[in-house]
Amino acid sequence: MMLDERRGMASAAFLQFFHQNPHFPVTRRIMVGNSARASLLERTVLFEAAKHTVDTYIKSGMVVGLGAGHASDMAIKYLGRQIREGALENIVGIPTSVSSASEAAMAGIPLDHYQESSQIDVAFNDADIIEEGTLCAVIGRRKLQGEESIIQEKAILQAADHLIFIVTEKQYKDGLEGSVPVLVQSLNWMETAEEIDDLFLGDAEVWRRPSIGYAGPTGGDFPLVTREGHYVLDVIFTSPITNLAEVAGNLDQINGVVDHGVISKIPCKAVVASESGLYMVNNLPKDDDALREL
């Protein structure tokens, strides 16, 4: 079956799913109420995770990579407060995105631009999802704003001496689900999409991300073009991802793939927020005590 035919079938299935309206109003009200309570609880524990990240891993005099996402915004605001109150001094932030730069500026954090020679002591970031044990993570599912760049975000996180992800318990799991964003050259992008589709045949669909309107196999008439001039293909997995590093390695071998949203770094830590509290995990070998402390 040709790629266009498979995409057409996937599009029909997705559209049918999203246009269904099977719930009664009473059921909907109950669901919204439960969702609101869960959201409030999640925000509370996520703030505690953000606060713990700043209090535990950031010291005076550090250069800090400022991540993107809801938890990172909380950490940036709290970091700014610590600086204003004098608890931390001589902090320089390097933002990973336009949004984190804006949050940091409002929080009063001194900023610097990222360069390949930048020495970054520690960086924190949200993850769309993170693999249990390896702490291999996916970033970049969110809608990109203005001059945001997955490539720059990844580069800053990789350059940091220490990387901390701030996630909820539902984002930290084995057998990952959802999509992996892949940056591809805009020229001959269909050939690259075909090769990715063949690579994950039966386990994933490949959709080009739109700048406006609905997502679809071709991204409509207005595909998203990144700051660097690349298209974003969302590889939407319909089966659990058993090995994220293997997925990343396979993508790296495909002609036309520039980068992707998979990040794997050792050492790496994750502060995981759950209903019962916080817990911290790392991906260091158990006998590597020398690197265990930040």
Per-residue pLDDT of 54-102, as tens digits, reads 999 999 999 999 999 999 999 999 999 999 999 999 999 999 999 999 9
Q: Which residue has the higher pLDDT, 30 or 217?
A: 217
pLDDT value of position 146? 58
Share of the chain above pLDDT 70, in %: 82
Average pLDDT over residues 13-22: 38
pLDDT (0 to 100) of residue 9: 44
Q: How far apart are CA 80 and CA 66, in angstroms?
A: 11
How open is the CA angle 71-74-78, to the nearest 5 degrees?
140
Query: pLDDT above 90 covers what percent of the chain?
Result: 66
- For tokens 């930040």, the residue is 294
CA distances from 29 to 11, 22, 25, 32, 39 (A): 30, 14, 6, 5, 15
Residue 38: the pLDDT is: 47
Q: Which residues contact 284 (CB under 8 A, 6 or more apart)?
A: 266, 267, 291, 292
**What's the burial of 150, exposed, middle or buried (CB within 10 Å: 0-12/13-18/19+)?**
buried
**How far is the C-alpha of 168 from the C-alpha of 262, rounded, in Å?**
18
> Strands 122-125, 162-168: parallel, antiparallel or unpaired by DSSP?
parallel
Q: Which of 246, 249, 288 is nearest to 267 (CA)?
A: 288
Task: Give me 179's structure tokens.
Answer: 């999509």
Tell me what the pLDDT averaged over the chain comes to. 84
Taking 70 as the threshold, does the pLDDT of residue 293 lie above it? no
Q: What per-residue confidence (pLDDT) applies to 292?
A: 41
Q: Catalytic residue positions?
A: 153
pTM of the model: 0.81
Provide the 8-state DSSP code for 259: E
| N residues, the chain | 294
